[in-house]
Amino acid sequence: MKTRICITLENPVVEKLDTLRRLAKRSTYIENLIKQVAKTDTNIETD
């Protein structure tokens, strides 16, 4: 993570925005995965 942050700091602003957008997409994707896992966990608990 630290090396990636250093690389993004050296990149131009446009590339920074692109990487931020990619990270945002990844974070939302990860959040959706966590929600799916939470749903399955609650379903298992109720069953």
Amino acid of residue 11: N
Separation of CA 2 from chain center? 16
How many distinct structural domains can be found in the chain? 1
pLDDT score of 8: 55
Residue numbers of the domain that contains 33: 2-46
pLDDT in tens, 1-47: 565 555 555 657 767 777 778 888 888 888 888 888 777 765 555 55
> Which backbone phi and psi does 15 adopt, to 5 degrees?
-65, -35
Cα(46)–Cα(24) distance, integer angstroms: 33
pLDDT score of 26: 85
Cα(23)–Cα(30) distance, integer angstroms: 10
| Residue 39 DSSP SS3 | helix
